[in-house]
């Protein structure tokens, strides 16, 4: 395929994409296929001779679409949203065309520099403390990671490296492995599985701090465990606070936790993967109070800020903490502007795409006001769903509705709710996933798609309510 054919095929693909998104409501949100469905639909080997573009394109509807879970359907209420917008898609086309691998300043100066400035823009939208911004002379700054999992891991590894160096300064004879064997990291018992995995990868003990009745870690709970662990000869070094947990969008109390971490020289990382986007609205910014105590902070614009995956924004107060943990520089990566830095020292992969283009397009084409309006609309839809649930005596709300997630259940047994969820998902009209809260099986209703409107939410509720009636009626007989 040459540029001339690409002009034609690219425009056809633009139309296919626009058609797909304009008509996504008509597609069944969750597919009917069974595991292994795809293998039998295509050959066992790659073709020897080139096929035509027509052959490939017609297989999109035959092979791919029947197995797609449509995350951007207004009937998709599972997990958390993944961001999606036209400006981001246009920027990604440009990113693909430039196709640079930004592992150093010299490898593509625009890629390194736009990222630094976009993270400053975003940091200012969130009103992050000045320490977290790069500016022209700051010692902090931001970086785009692939996912929040990577950000948590990077923060944990940087904290591990920092504490080892600190202890070795006073005790030069203590080995790294001896120190690491005593380290202990903490998170909420509601924290995402990736936090536990970061501990596993980093080879350190990871303990879960029990949460209160609002599923929030409080200062006293952390303090208690710290005292026990210090007494047992362990070395607390890292606390991952969550703002907006995955099960119920609960918020750890960082105004209490931060001062404890600072006093105890524990690195506090804040994972606000989903909720972070909301902090651009003044009314939700108080949820981030306490950020001033953190060493690193992360959230995913690729979840709720209209920037397509992957774009996980991470800031640190001291770039040197992170860079020091990873920097290894062979000759083939050295260049004249070595001191200009680059974000590949802040991440696991060395290569990186020009992802900041997506942020630049989205921030400019929505404007801060447009982005705020988008967040507020989703929160409003969640509140609307909450009222519908509350108005139905058979149901209960299982956690405070703060942003775009509603946790709810039928009053009654876990089994009852498991059956209800199974029926909801089997009907294929909408798609939800469950969570476990204080031993209870709970249904999560997350407002996800950019195109979700009040009518979709009401339709979803009436469907759920109808299935619940059927179920309860059957049980009565």
Nearest to 161 by CA among 142, 181, 176: 176
**The only residue of 224, 337, 394, 428 in contact with a second copy, by rule CB under 8 A:** 337
Q: What are phi and psi of 216, to 5 degrees?
A: -115, 140
Q: How open is the CA angle 147-435-69, to the nearest 5 degrees?
A: 60
- Shortest CB 423 distance to a second copy, Å: 13
Q: Which of 187, 188, 194, 296 binds a second copy (CB under 8 A)?
A: 194
Q: Please, which of residues 60-89 interact with a second copy by CB under 8 A? A: 60, 63-72, 79, 82, 84-89
Near a second copy by CB under 8 A: residue from 369, 455, 476, 477: 369
Task: Tell me the pairing of strands 296-299 and 267-271.
Answer: parallel
Q: Which residues contact 466 (CB under 8 A, 6 or more apart)?
A: none
Given a contact cutoff of 8 angstroms between Cβ atoms, the answer to whether 430 and 75 are in contact is yes
d(C-alpha 474, C-alpha 477), whole Å = 5
Residue number with CB closer to a second copy (200 or 220): 200
Instruction: Pick left, alpha or beta for residue 98 (phi over 0 → left; psi -120 to 50 → alpha; otherwise beta).
Output: alpha
Residue 218 φ then ψ, to 5°: -105, 160
Contact flags string 265-284 toward a second copy, x per CB under 8 A: --------------------
- Subset of 295-324 contacting a second copy (CB under 8 A): 302, 308-310
- Spatial contact of 410 and 468, defined as CB atoms under 8 Å apart: yes
Tell me if 13 contacts a second copy by CB under 8 A: yes
Considering the complex, state which of residue 256 and residue 271 has its C-beta at the smaller distance from a second copy: 271
Per CB under 8 A, does 350 bind a second copy? yes
Number of residues located near a second copy, criterion CB under 8 A:
146
Please select the residue that binds a second copy; options are 387, 436, 454, 462, rule is CB under 8 A.
436
Measured from the CB of residue 289, what is the shortest distance to a second copy in angstroms? Answer: 22
CB 137 to a second copy: min, Å: 11
> Rounded CA gap, 298 and 147, in Å?
9
Q: Which residues contact 369 (CB under 8 A, 6 or more apart)?
A: none
Residue of 153, 221, 235, 405 that binds a second copy (CB under 8 A): 153
Give the residue with the Cβ less far from a second copy, 150 or 386. Answer: 150
Cβ neighbours for 307, distance < 8 A, ≥ 6 positions apart: 83, 85, 88, 301, 358, 359, 362
Contacting residue, 25, 100, 131, 168, with a second copy by CB under 8 A = 100
Q: Which of residues 286 and 370 has its CB atom nearest to a second copy in the complex?
A: 370
CA 44 to the chain's CA centroid: 35
**17 makes contact with a second copy (CB under 8 A):** yes
Instruction: Answer yes or no whether residue 368 interacts with a second copy by CB under 8 A.
Output: yes
Which range in 148-156, 230-238, 263-271, 388-396 contacts a second copy by CB under 8 A?
148-156
- What are the strands, taking DSSP E only, across 244-284? 267-271
Q: How far is the CB of 302 from a second copy (least distance, A)?
A: 8
| Residue 346 token pair | 């802040």
The window from 112-120, 227-235, 381-389, 460-468 that contacts a second copy (CB under 8 A) reads 112-120
Complex with a second copy: residue 82 or 465, whichever CB lies closer: 82
With 0-12 CB in 10 A as exposed, 13-18 as middle and 19+ as buried, what is 191?
A: buried
Which of 238, 363, 385, 408 is the binder for a second copy (CB under 8 A)? 363
Cβ at position 224, least distance to a second copy in Å? 25
Choosing from 28, 223, 340, 414, the residue that interacts with a second copy (CB under 8 A) is: 340
Q: Does 435 bind a second copy (CB under 8 A)?
A: yes
Told to check if 175 binds a second copy by CB under 8 A, we report yes
Among the listed residues 155, 153, 21, 84, the one whose alpha carbon sits nearest the alpha carbon of residue 302: 84
């Amino acid at each position: 395929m040459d540029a001339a054919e690409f002009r034609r095929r690219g425009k056809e693909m633009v139309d296919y994409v626009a058609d797909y998104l304009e008509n996504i409501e008509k597609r069944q949100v969750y597919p009917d296929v069974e595991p292994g469905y795809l293998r039998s639909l295509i050959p066992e080997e790659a073709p020897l001779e080139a096929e035509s573009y027509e052959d490939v394109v017609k297989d999109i509807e035959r092979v791919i679409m029947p197995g797609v879970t449509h995350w951007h359907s207004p009937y998709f209420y599972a997990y958390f949203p993944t961001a999606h917008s036209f400006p981001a898609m246009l920027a990604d086309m440009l990113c693909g065309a430039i196709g640079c691998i930004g592992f150093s300043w010299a490898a593509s100066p625009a890629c390194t520099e736009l990222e630094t400035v976009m993270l400053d823009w975003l940091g200012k939208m969130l009103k992050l403390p000045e320490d977290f911004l790069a500016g022209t002379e700051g010692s902090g700054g931001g970086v785009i990671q692939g996912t929040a999992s990577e950000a948590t891991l990077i923060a944990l590894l940087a904290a591990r490296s920092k504490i080892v160096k600190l202890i070795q300064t006073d005790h030069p004879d203590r080995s790294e492995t001896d120190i690491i064997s005593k380290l202990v990291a903490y998170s909420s018992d509601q924290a995402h599985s990736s936090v536990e995995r970061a501990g596993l990868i980093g080879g350190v003990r990871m303990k879960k701090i029990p949460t209160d009745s609002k599923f929030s870690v409080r200062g006293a709970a952390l303090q208690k465990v710290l005292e026990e662990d210090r007494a047992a000869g362990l070395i607390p070094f890292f606390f991952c606070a969550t703002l907006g947990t995955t099960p119920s969008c609960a918020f750890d109390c960082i105004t209490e936790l931060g001062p404890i971490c600072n006093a105890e020289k524990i690195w506090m990382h804040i994972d606000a993967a989903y909720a972070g986007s909301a902090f651009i609205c003044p009314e939700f910014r108080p949820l981030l109070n306490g950020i001033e105590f953190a060493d690193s902070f992360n959230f995913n614009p690729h979840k709720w800020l209209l920037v397509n995956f992957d774009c996980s924004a991470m800031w640190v107060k001291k770039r040197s903490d992170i860079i020091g943990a990873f920097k290894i520089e062979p000759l083939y990566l050295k260049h004249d502007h070595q001191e200009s830095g680059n974000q590949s020292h802040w991440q696991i992969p060395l290569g990186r795409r020009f992802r900041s283009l997506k942020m630049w397009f989205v921030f400019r084409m929505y404007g801060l006001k447009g982005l705020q309006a988008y967040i507020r609309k989703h929160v409003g839809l969640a509140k609307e769903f909450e009222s519908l649930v509350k108005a139905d005596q058979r149901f209960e709300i299982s956690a405070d509705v703060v942003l775009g997630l509603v946790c709810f259940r039928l009053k009654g047994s876990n089994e009852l709710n498991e059956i209800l969820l199974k029926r909801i998902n089997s009907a294929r009209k909408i798609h939800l996933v469950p969570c476990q809260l204080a031993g209870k099986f709970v249904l999560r209703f997350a407002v996800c798609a950019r195109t979700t409107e009040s009518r979709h939410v009401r339709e979803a509720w009436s469907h759920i309510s109808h299935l619940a009636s059927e179920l309860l009626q059957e049980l009565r007989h």
